[in-house]
């Protein structure tokens, strides 16, 4: 089934979400050479696990990872590669639930040797395991990585590989042909559908699979697919020069959706309609209608926007090249505390109540149009403990009940749980907020 599936995550929380009105960009921290920042899908206790990579500009922070759980006020150094004989850099980082997957590459300072290596944490970054190490012989050849909904980690070179857990080995799944040297990226849309991009030295190659990465087809080969974003199986975005391109047919054809006043650098999405683009000269572009209309906000006049990430309409981050971390709205959504409420909604179309509470819970959600819907409960390790409902639903408001029990009929223990509603028609992603149940 070639349909993209995205997620609505409903949280059992003690924290009221602020409205979109009045949300503004503000400086969170200066003086650190942030390069990338990402919320991922990871929640730990009541704290957002945020991973930052710094390298290159500041020799004191050459390839280090930091986390914060208070909205960026304080940072913890998790991984430190200073003093290495190589110039290290994080090429990609992916997070889903408790799993954090990092792909690094390193180039010797004499330019004669290069390597790529991957690390993975299955416990929110508390401990790390080396999961692959390759001597590539060429700095520009790097793997693509991603994590699927079942918690399996994937990497791609000319072959797709899957690893199911900390003690398992890599299993080859399928061959991707033709393969060209370059930096690769991977996007897993659902259990069957994925995209694979190779940024070659003279051209870019874009592949698609609809059978779980077993066989791949070449969709396109051109020079505009340098930076890509994949909200769904059909709707794609690409950045090149000053132009924002879009495709509505899985990347087979592209057209310019918007031309910015300065080069576009990075892109992130919440769904197929809501998109943010970071540009040179400190601009962040925003659209909430799929690129028909755009808003522009200049954060800094003499800096590039290196990275942008949003968890909701009212919570986001941006990093600029003048060593500044920016927050939008309620940056630091994971701050705990505050009075308990009886009904909390991360998204106004989704809520769960009573919350906190024990026993039976009522889950309400809204569908914009008819579609297949699955509702399941997960524990904090990302394990599905019970599938509550599944099937076709009409458009409109829906209400279902969870009895507080797992798939075996046993009452769940006190702790943190996540309810996930998935539907290909909603195409909306909201990160989870969690607390301990009673």
With CA atoms as reference, report the closest residue to 394 among 366, 363, 416: 366
Q: Is pLDDT above 80 for 314?
A: no
Check residue 341 and give its pLDDT.
29
pLDDT at 430 over 50: no
Quote the CA–CA distance of 194 and 212 in Å, as a whole number. 7
Of residues 85 and 255, more confidently modeled? 255
Out of 112-126, 349-363, 384-398, least confident range: 349-363
- If one counts every other C-beta atom within 10 angstroms of the C-beta of residue 366, the result is 15
Mean pLDDT of 211-234: 83
Residue carrying structure tokens 């190779």: 198
- CA-wise closest residue to 225 among 273, 271, 185: 185
As to burial, measured by CB atoms within 10 angstroms (0-12 exposed, 13-18 middle, 19+ buried), residue 394 is exposed
Least confident of 30-39, 59-68, 399-408: 59-68
Give the burial string for 8-44 (b: 16+ CB within 10 Å, else e). Answer: bbbbbbbbebeeeeebebeebbeebbbbbbbbbbbbb
Record the pTM: 0.64
- Say if residue 88's pLDDT is above 80: no
Instruction: For the chain, give percent helix, strand, coil, nearest 5.
Output: 0, 50, 50
Please give the Cα distance from 420 to 369 (Å, whole number). 18
Write down the pLDDT at residue 332.
37
429: pLDDT confidence band, cut at 50, 70 and 90?
Answer: very low
| CATH domain 1-17+339-438 topology | Immunoglobulin-like (2.60.40)
Mean pLDDT of the chain: 71
The answer on pLDDT for 73 being more than 60 is yes
What average pLDDT score do residues 225-239 get? Answer: 84
Q: How far is CA 338 from CA 64, 409, 415, in A?
A: 33, 33, 18
Q: Widest CA span of the chain, in angstroms? A: 63
Residues in the chain: 438
Looking at residue 92, its pLDDT comes to 76
Mean pLDDT throughout 131-158? 72
Task: Give residue 31's pLDDT band: very low, low, confident or very high (50, 70, 90).
Answer: confident
* Highest mean pLDDT pick, 116-130, 197-211, 382-396: 197-211
- Sorting pLDDT into bands at 50, 70 and 90, what band is 13? very low
Q: What's the CA gap between 127 and 275, in Å, rounded?
A: 33
Q: Write the burial class of residue 172 (CB in 10 Å: 0-12 exposed, 13-18 middle, 19+ buried).
A: exposed
Give pLDDT, residue 59: 44
Q: For the chain, what are the domain ranges?
A: 1-17+339-438, 26-329
Q: Which fold has domain 26-329?
A: Methylamine Dehydrogenase; Chain H (2.130.10)
The number of C-alpha atoms within 13 Å of 64 and in the hemisphere containing its C-beta is: 19
- Please give the Cα distance from 292 to 272 (Å, whole number): 12
10 Å Cβ neighbour count for 362? 15
Q: Identical fold at 1-17+339-438 and 26-329?
A: no
80: left (phi over 0), alpha (psi -120 to 50) or beta: beta
256-290 residue pLDDT tens: 999 999 999 899 888 888 899 999 999 999 998 88
pLDDT at residue 321 tops 70: yes
d(CA 312, CA 347) in angstroms, rounded, equals: 8
pLDDT value at residue 357: 61
What is the C-alpha separation between 62 and 107, in angstroms, rounded?
13
pLDDT above 80: residue 358? no
236-262, pLDDT tens digit by residue? 998 989 999 999 888 888 899 999 999
Q: Is the per-residue pLDDT at 65 higher than 50?
A: yes
The mean pLDDT value for 127-151 works out to 70
Q: 64 near 81, Cβ under 8 Å?
A: yes
Is the pLDDT at 291 greater than 80? The verdict is yes
Q: Report pLDDT for 297.
A: 92
pLDDT score, position 415 = 66
> Which tops the pLDDT comparison, 53 or 232?
232
Does position 233 have pLDDT exceeding 70, yes or no? yes
Q: Edge-to-edge strand order for the sheet containing 283-287?
A: 264-269, 275-279, 283-287, 295-298
Greater confidence (28 vs 305) lies with 305
Residue 282 backbone dihedrals phi, psi, to 5 degrees: 75, 15
């Amino acid at each position: 089934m070639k349909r993209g599936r995205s997620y609505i995550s409903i949280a059992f929380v003690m924290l009221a979400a602020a409205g979109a009105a009045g949300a503004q960009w503000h400086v969170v921290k200066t003086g650190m050479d942030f390069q990338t920042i990402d919320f991922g899908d990871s929640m730990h206790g009541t704290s957002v696990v945020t991973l930052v990579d710094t390298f290159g500009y500041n020799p004191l922070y050459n390839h280090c990872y930091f986390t914060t759980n208070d909205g960026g006020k304080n940072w913890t150094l998790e991984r430190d590669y200073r003093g290495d004989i190589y110039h290290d850099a994080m090429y990609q980082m992916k997070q889903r639930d408790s799993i954090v997957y990092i792909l690094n590459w390193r180039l010797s300072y004499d330019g004669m040797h290069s390597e790529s290596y991957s690390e993975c944490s299955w416990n929110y970054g508390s401990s790390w395991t080396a999961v692959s190490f390759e001597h590539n012989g060429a700095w520009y050849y790097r793997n693509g990585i991603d994590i699927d909904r079942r918690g399996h980690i994937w990497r791609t070179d000319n072959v797709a590989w899957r690893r199911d857990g900390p003690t398992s080995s890599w299993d080859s799944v399928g061959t991707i042909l033709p393969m060209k040297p370059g930096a690769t990226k991977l996007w897993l849309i659902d259990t069957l559908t994925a995209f694979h991009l190779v940024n070659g030295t003279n051209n870019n190659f874009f592949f698609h699979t609809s059978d779980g990465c077993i066989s791949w087809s070449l969709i396109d080969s051109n020079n505009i697919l340098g930076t890509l974003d994949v909200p769904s199986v059909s709707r794609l975005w690409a950045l090149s020069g000053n132009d924002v391109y879009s495709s509505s047919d899985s990347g087979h054809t592209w057209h310019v959706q918007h031309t910015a006043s300065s080069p576009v650098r990075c892109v992130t999405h919440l769904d197929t309609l809501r998109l943010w683009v970071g540009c040179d000269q400190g601009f962040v572009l925003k659209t909430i209608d799929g690129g028909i209309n755009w808003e522009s906000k200049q954060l800094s006049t003499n800096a590039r926007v290196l990275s942008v990430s949003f968890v909701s309409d009212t919570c986001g981050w941006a990093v600029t090249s003048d060593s500044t971390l920016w927050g939008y709205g309620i940056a630091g959504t994971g701050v705990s505390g505050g009075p308990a409420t009886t009904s909390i909604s991360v998204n106004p179309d989704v809520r769960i109540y009573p919350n906190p509470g024990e026993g039976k819970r009522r889950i309400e959600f809204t569908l914009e149009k008819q579609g297949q819907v699955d509702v399941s409960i997960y524990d904090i390790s990302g394990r599905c403990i019970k599938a509550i409902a599944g099937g076709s639903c009409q458009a409109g408001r829906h209400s279902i009940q969870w009895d507080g029990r797992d798939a075996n009929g046993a009452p769940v223990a006190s702790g943190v749980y996540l309810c996930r509603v998935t539907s290909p028609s909603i195409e909306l992603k909201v990160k989870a907020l969690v607390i301990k149940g009673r």
